[in-house]
C-alpha cells in the first residue's frame, strides 16, 4: 500500500498542503532516504541519486511483475509493468516518454525500462536472441552518441526513439531505432571542461601501434593526398553552362575541413543506426504491438546557447505539448465528453511557443530557411533583423531591439541575441552561426573526393559524390529536417498510450546525497508537476470503458457472474452497487466509469484477486471431484476384474492343494501297505546300509584330514601323511602319486625352455646310465657344459665345424687308443647335430669326420672309467678304418648328447651296450677288448692298455 510505512508521501496526489514548497520538501525527504521514485497518479518522478542503489535486478523484477501499480513502493519497474501489461493484455500500443534536464538520468531510465520488459516477456532461443540484440544496441549507440559535458559525464548528444515490436503473446519480435539531431559540431569543437564523443577515447585506448602510427588522413581512408588537398582548399561552382574553380582562404578552408569531419561522423552514426535496424527489424507481416521508448536531450540553458540548443529546446517544447494535450488538456476534455462535473484547472498551454518556432510561414525556422535561400547578402544579423521585425510584439520573444522599443534595459542581452520565454524559462540564443549551421553545407568537391576513396564504407557514406548521380538540387536545411523528424515523432506518440517518467537532477555537481532546492524548483516548474497534481486531485484517478470494466470485475457479483445479459453500464452499476462503495468515489460517464482514488481501484483489484482464488478453488474442487469419481469408477471396474481373477486363481490353487493332498494320502497308504508286507525283508539289509554309511563317513574324514595335512609343493619333498585305516592304503598311495605328478607338472610349467632342455638331457642320461654306469652318480649334480676346450674363444677350432649350421653339442679333448700298440694319443672331439669330428690337438686339423647316420652303436663299461667304443657301420665313408676306441672324462654327457643327436638326425635310437668285453673292428680285423678293474684309488681314474697277441687287447682301469 502507498501509505503503509512510507517515507513522506509516495503519491503526490495525496500531498497536503499542495504547494511547491511542500512538494520540494517531500522530494528532498525521499531523496535523503534513497527513495528516488514518486508517483503523481500514473506519472513517475525519478530523482537521479548519482549512485548505484540495491533496488534493481531479477529479484525486484519478479517482485513487481506479480503486483498491481499501487500495491508496492513507487518504482520504474511498476510503470514499465503497467505499460507492458496494457500492451499485452489490452492490445494498446504504448510509449514511454522520458523527459528532464541533461544529467537527470533519462538514459539510465530507458535502459531500466528495456531491461524490465526483456526480463518479463516470453522465453525461447529466438526471443532471447531478439532481447539480447535490443539490449546490446545501447552500448554501441552510447559509445558513438554520448559525451562528457559540464552537467553530465555520460550525456546523450543525440535523440533516440526506439519502437519495440511484440507478437500477440507479448514476446519481442524486433524493433526500429530513430535518431534525432546528433550534435556533430562536438567533433570539431567542445566547450572547456567537456570532451568529444566516447568512441574516440575508446579507439585510442584500444588501438594497436600500427593504427596509432598513421599520420595522414589520406593514408587511413585510402585517398590520394593531392586529391584531398584540392577538395579542402578549393571550391567548384557549376552552372548549366560553365564551371568555375575558386581557391578558398584560410577561414573557408577551415570551415570546409570542419564540415567534412562533421559530415563523416554524422553519416557514420546514421550508418550504424541503420545496420542495427537491419539486424533487429521485423520481417513477418503479422499484426504487431508496439512499445516506444523516447530518450532525447533534456532542456538546455547554457551560458552560450546556439542553434543546437535552439532545436533541442524546440523538441522539448513539443514533448511538453504532448504532455499537456494528452494529460492535462485531454483530461478536461474527456470529463466534458463524458458529462462528468469538472473543476477547471488552469495550466500553461505552450502551443503559442511551438507556433512561434515551427509555423510554416511566420515561424522562426521558416524565417531561417527563407534567409538561407534568398539571394543577396545573407548573414546572421539580417536573420535577427527579420525576427525583430516579425515578432516585435510577440509575448514570448524579445531582443535588444524590442527591449529598446519598449524602453526596457537589460544589459545581459547582447546585440546578436534573441530570447524566447520557454515553458521551462527564458533562454537567450546567440544568432552567430545560425545560418551556417542551418545550411549544414558540404562542398560538392568534398563529396566527390570522399566518393573516390578506396575505403568502401566511406564511399557508401557519400553517394552524392558519384558524378553519375550528381544533382544541382539544394538539400533541405538542418532545421527543416529536424522539424519534419519531430513532426513524425509527435504523430507517432499521439497514436500510442503515453506513460511518463519525469527525471529530475538534484544538483549541478553530480554528487550523491546533495539536493539543491532551487535547482529542483526550476525543474518542477517547467515539468508542470504542480499542474499535474492539481488535475489528479480535482478529477478521478482511473477511468475505463464500461465493457472492459465489466469484463474484468463482473466476477465480484453473483448477479453479473458468470453471465450478464443486460447492458454494460447497467452491469457495472449493478455489481458496484452490491459492493457498497462510497458514491463520492464513483462517477458514471456516458461511456466510461470513473474512480476517484487509487485506493478504491486497489480495493477492487484485491476483491478480484480474492474472487479469483475462490473461483480457482471451485474449479479445483470440481476437477478433483471429477477426477475422484473417474478414479473411483476405474478402481471399481478394476476391483471387480481383479476379484474375479483372484477367486478363480484361489479355486485353482485350492483344487491343486486338494489333488496334491489326495496323492500324498494315496502314497502314504501304499507305503504303509508295502512296509507292512515287506517289513521282514528290511532288517536283512540294514547291516549293509550301516556299513556303507560308516564307510562313507570314514572316507570323508580321511579326505578332509588329507586336505588339511598336505605337504609342501616342493618336488623334492617326499613326505606324505599315512592313511588312518589300512583299507585306505592303496587309495592313499594313488593319491600320493597323483599329488607328486601334479607337483612335477607345476614345477615343469614354471621352467624356461632352456631349463626344460637341460632337464631333458639329464632325464635321458638317467634312463641310459642310472644303475648301469658307476660314474653316473657323479655326473648328476654337475651341469652339462658341452664346451670344455673354449671353442667360442678359438676361431681356429671353430673352423672344424665347417659349413654345418647349428650349435656344437660337445667339444672336448679325448684319448684315442692306437689300434696297433694300444698306446693312447690326445685328440679333439666335436659333436654336432650331424657329425662326430675327430681332430689333431696340435694343428687343429680334422682327421676324421663321421656322420651320425654311420654310427652303428656304442660299447661302454659299467666302471667309473671313460672308455667307450664307437662302432661304425660297414657302409660308412670311414668304415675302412674301423671302429674307434676312445676315452672321455665326460663320457656320460658325451654319450647322452650323442644319443639325442642320433635320434633327432636319423629318427632311430643309438644302441649303447654296457659290457666289459666287446669286439672292435679295426682295419686289420676284429680285436677283442677286455676291460679289467684294478685297485680303487682316489683322484682321476687311470687306464692302461696291453696287447696280448694280435687279436686281444686288455685294458685295466683304476
Binding-site annotation: residue ranges for ATP:
100-107
Residue position matching grid coordinates 499537456: 324
Rounded to an integer, what distance in angstroms lies between the CA atom of residue 819 and that of residue 894? 22
Residue position matching grid coordinates 553519416: 267
Q: Are 157 and 194 within 8 A, CB to CB?
A: no
| DSSP for residue 423 | T
* Binding site listing: 100-107
Rounded to an integer, what distance in angstroms lies between the CA atom of residue 528 and that of residue 511? 25
| DSSP for residue 326 | I
Cβ neighbours of residue 207 under 8 Å, at least 6 residues apart? none
β-pair type (94-100, 37-40): unpaired
Residue 880 phi, psi (nearest 5): -65, -25
Closest CA to 149 of 181, 196, 201, 203: 196
Task: Give the three cell numbers for residue 157.
Answer: 548528444
Helices 546-553 and 568-578, interaxial angle, to 10°? 40
562 preceded by a cis bond (ω within 30 of 0): yes
Closest CA to 477 of 420, 439, 442: 439
β-pair type (397-399, 417-422): antiparallel
- Three-state DSSP at 393 gives coil
Q: Could you tell me where the beta strands, DSSP code E, fall in 113-212?
A: 146-147, 155-156, 159-166, 172-180
Taking the CB of residue 391, how many other CB atoms lie within 10 A of it? 21
| Cross-strand partners of 887 | 815, 867
Q: Are 100 and 106 within 8 A, CB to CB?
A: yes
Helix (H) or strand (E) holding 648: helix 598-682
Q: Are 398 and 390 within 8 A, CB to CB?
A: no
- Angle at Cα 247 formed by Cα 245 and Cα 251, nearest 5°? 140
Taking the CB of residue 484, how many other CB atoms lie within 10 A of it? 11
Taking the CB of residue 446, how many other CB atoms lie within 10 A of it? 21
Rounded to an integer, what distance in angstroms lies between the CA atom of residue 104 and that of residue 946? 143
Cβ neighbours of residue 488 under 8 Å, at least 6 residues apart? none
Q: Are 27 and 45 within 8 A, CB to CB?
A: yes
Rounded to an integer, what distance in angstroms lies between the CA atom of residue 294 and that of residue 180? 11
Long-range contacts of the stretch 835-841 (C-beta < 8 A, 24+)? 835/804, 836/870, 836/898, 837/800, 837/801, 838/814, 838/884, 839/800, 841/813
CA 695, 698, 700, 703 torsion-angle sign? negative
Amino acid at each position: 500500500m502507498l501509505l503503509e510505512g512510507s517515507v513522506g508521501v509516495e503519491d503526490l496526489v495525496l500531498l497536503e498542503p499542495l504547494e511547491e514548497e511542500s512538494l520540494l520538501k517531500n522530494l528532498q525527504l525521499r531523496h535523503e532516504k534513497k527513495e528516488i521514485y514518486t508517483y503523481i497518479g500514473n506519472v513517475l518522478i525519478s530523482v537521479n541519486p548519482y549512485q548505484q542503489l540495491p533496488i534493481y535486478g531479477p529479484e525486484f523484477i519478479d517482485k513487481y511483475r506479480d503486483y498491481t501499480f499501487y500495491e508496492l513502493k513507487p518504482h520504474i519497474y511498476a510503470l514499465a509493468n503497467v505499460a507492458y501489461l496494457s500492451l499485452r493484455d489490452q492490445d494498446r500500443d504504448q510509449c514511454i516518454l522520458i523527459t528532464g534536464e541533461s544529467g537527470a538520468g533519462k538514459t539510465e531510465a530507458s535502459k531500466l525500462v528495456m531491461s524490465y520488459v526483456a526480463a518479463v516477456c516470453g522465453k525461447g532461443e529466438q526471443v532471447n536472441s531478439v532481447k539480447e540484440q535490443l539490449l546490446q544496441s545501447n552500448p554501441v549507440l552510447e559509445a558513438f552518441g554520448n559525451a562528457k559535458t559540464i552537467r553530465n559525464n555520460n550525456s546523450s548528444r543525440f535523440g533516440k526513439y526506439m519502437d519495440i515490436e511484440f507478437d500477440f503473446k507479448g514476446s519481442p519480435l524486433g524493433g526500429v531505432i530513430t535518431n534525432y539531431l546528433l550534435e556533430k559540431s562536438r567533433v570539431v569543437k567542445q566547450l572547456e571542461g567537456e570532451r568529444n564523443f566516447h568512441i574516440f577515447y575508446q579507439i585510442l585506448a584500444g588501438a594497436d601501434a600500427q593504427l596509432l602510427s598513421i599520420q595522414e588522413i589520406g593514408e587511413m581512408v585510402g585517398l590520394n593526398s593531392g586529391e584531398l588537398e584540392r577538395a579542402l582548399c578549393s571550391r567548384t561552382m557549376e552552372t548549366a553552362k560553365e564551371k568555375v574553380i575558386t581557391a578558398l582562404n584560410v577561414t573557408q578552408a577551415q570551415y570546409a575541413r570542419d564540415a567534412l569531419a562533421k559530415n563523416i561522423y554524422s553519416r557514420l552514426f546514421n550508418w550504424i543506426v541503420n545496420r542495427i535496424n537491419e539486424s533487429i527489424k521485423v520481417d513477418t507481416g503479422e499484426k504487431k504491438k508496439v512499445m516506444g521508448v523516447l530518450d532525447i536531450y533534456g532542456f538546455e540553458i547554457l551560458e552560450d546557447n546556439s542553434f543546437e540548443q535552439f532545436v533541442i529546446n524546440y523538441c522539448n517544447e513539443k514533448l511538453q505539448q504532448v504532455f499537456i494535450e494528452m494529460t492535462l488538456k485531454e483530461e478536461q476534455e474527456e470529463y466534458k465528453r463524458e458529462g462528468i462535473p469538472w473543476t477547471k484547472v488552469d495550466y500553461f498551454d505552450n502551443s503559442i511557443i511551438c507556433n512561434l518556432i515551427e509555423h510554416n510561414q511566420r515561424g522562426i525556422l521558416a524565417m531561417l530557411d527563407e534567409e538561407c535561400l534568398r539571394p543577396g547578402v545573407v548573414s546572421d544579423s539580417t536573420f535577427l533583423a527579420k525576427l525583430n521585425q516579425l515578432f516585435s510584439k510577440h509575448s514570448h520573444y524579445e531582443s535588444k531591439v524590442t527591449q529598446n522599443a519598449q524602453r526596457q534595459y537589460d544589459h545581459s542581452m547582447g546585440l546578436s541575441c534573441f530570447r524566447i520565454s520557454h515553458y521551462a524559462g527564458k533562454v537567450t540564443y546567440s544568432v552567430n552561426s545560425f545560418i551556417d549551421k542551418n545550411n549544414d553545407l558540404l562542398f560538392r568537391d568534398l563529396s566527390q573526393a570522399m566518393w573516390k576513396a578506396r575505403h568502401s564504407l566511406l564511399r557508401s557514406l557519400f553517394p552524392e559524390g558519384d558524378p553519375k548521380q550528381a544533382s544541382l538540387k539544394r538539400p533541405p536545411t538542418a532545421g527543416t529536417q529536424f522539424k519534419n523528424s519531430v513532426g513524425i515523432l509527435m504523430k507517432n506518440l499521439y497514436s500510442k498510450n503515453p506513460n511518463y517518467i519525469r527525471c529530475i537532477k538534484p544538483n549541478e555537481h553530480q554528487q550523491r546525497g546533495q539536493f539543491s532546492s532551487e535547482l529542483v524548483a526550476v525543474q518542477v516548474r517547467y515539468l508542470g508537476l504542480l499542474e499535474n497534481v492539481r488535475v489528479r486531485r480535482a478529477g478521478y484517478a482511473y477511468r475505463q470503458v464500461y465493457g472492459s470494466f465489466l469484463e474484468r470485475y463482473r466476477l465480484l457479483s453473483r448477479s453479473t457472474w458468470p453471465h450478464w445479459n443486460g447492458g454494460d453500464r447497467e452491469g457495472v452499476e449493478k455489481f458496484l452497487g452490491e459492493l457498497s462503495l462510497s458514491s463520492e468515489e464513483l462517477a458514471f460517464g456516458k461511456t466510461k466509469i470513473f474512480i476517484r482514488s487509487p485506493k478504491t481501484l486497489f480495493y477492487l483489484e484485491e476483491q478480484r484477486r480474492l474472487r479469483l482464488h475462490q473461483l480457482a478453488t471451485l474449479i479445483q474442487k470440481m476437477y478433483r471431484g471429477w477426477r475422484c469419481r473417474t478414479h473411483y469408477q476405474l478402481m471399481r471396474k478394476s476391483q471387480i476384474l481383479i476379484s474375479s481373477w483372484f477367486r478363480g486363481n484361489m479355486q485353482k490353487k485350492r483344487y491343486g492343494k486338494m489333488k496334491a493332498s489326495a496323492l500324498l494320502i494315496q502314497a502314504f497308504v501304499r507305503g504303509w501297505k508295502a512296509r507292512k508286507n515287506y517289513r521282514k525283508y528290511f532288517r536283512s539289509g540294514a547291516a549293509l546300509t550301516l556299513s556303507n554309511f560308516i564307510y562313507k563317513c570314514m572316507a570323508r574324514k580321511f579326505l578332509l584330514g588329507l586336505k588339511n595335512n598336505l605337504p609342501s609343493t616342493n618336488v623334492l619333498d617326499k613326505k606324505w601323511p599315512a592313511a588312518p585305516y589300512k583299507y585306505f592304503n592303496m587309495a592313499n598311495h594313488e593319491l600320493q602319486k597323483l599329488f607328486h605328478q601334479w607337483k612335477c607338472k607345476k614345477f615343469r610349467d614354471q621352467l624356461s625352455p632352456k631349463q626344460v632342455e637341460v632337464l631333458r638331457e639329464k632325464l635321458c642320461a638317467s634312463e641310459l646310465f642310472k644303475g648301469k654306469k658307476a660314474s653316473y652318480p657323479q655326473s648328476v649334480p654337475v651341469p652339462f657344459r658341452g664346451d670344455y676346450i673354449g671353442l667360442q674363444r678359438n676361431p681356429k677350432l671353430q673352423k672344424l665345424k665347417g659349413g654345418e649350421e647349428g650349435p656344437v653339442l660337445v667339444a672336448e679333448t679325448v684319448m684315442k687308443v692306437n689300434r696297433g700298440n694300444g698306446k693312447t694319443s690326445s685328440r679333439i672331439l666335436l659333436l654336432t647335430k650331424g657329425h662326430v669330428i675327430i681332430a689333431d690337438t696340435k694343428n687343429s686339423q680334422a682327421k676324421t669326420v663321421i656322420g651320425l647316420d654311420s654310427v652303428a652303436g656304442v660299447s661302454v663299461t659299467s666302471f667309473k672309467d671313460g672308455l667307450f667304443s664307437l662302432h661304425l657301420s660297414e657302409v660308412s665313408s670311414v668304415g675302412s678304418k674301423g671302429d674307434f676306441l676312445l676315452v672321455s672324462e665326460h663320457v656320460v654327457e658325451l654319450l647322452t648328447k650323442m644319443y639325442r643327436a642320433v635320434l633327432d638326425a636319423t629318427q632311430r635310437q643309438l644302441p649303447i651296450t654296457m659290457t666289459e668285453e666287446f669286439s672292435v673292428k679295426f682295419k686289420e680285423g676284429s680285436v677283442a677288448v677286455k676291460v679289467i678293474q684294478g685297485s680303487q684309488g682316489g683322484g682321476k681314474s687311470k687306464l692302461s692298455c696291453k696287447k696280448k697277441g694280435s687279436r686281444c687287447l686288455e685294458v685295466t682301469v683304476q
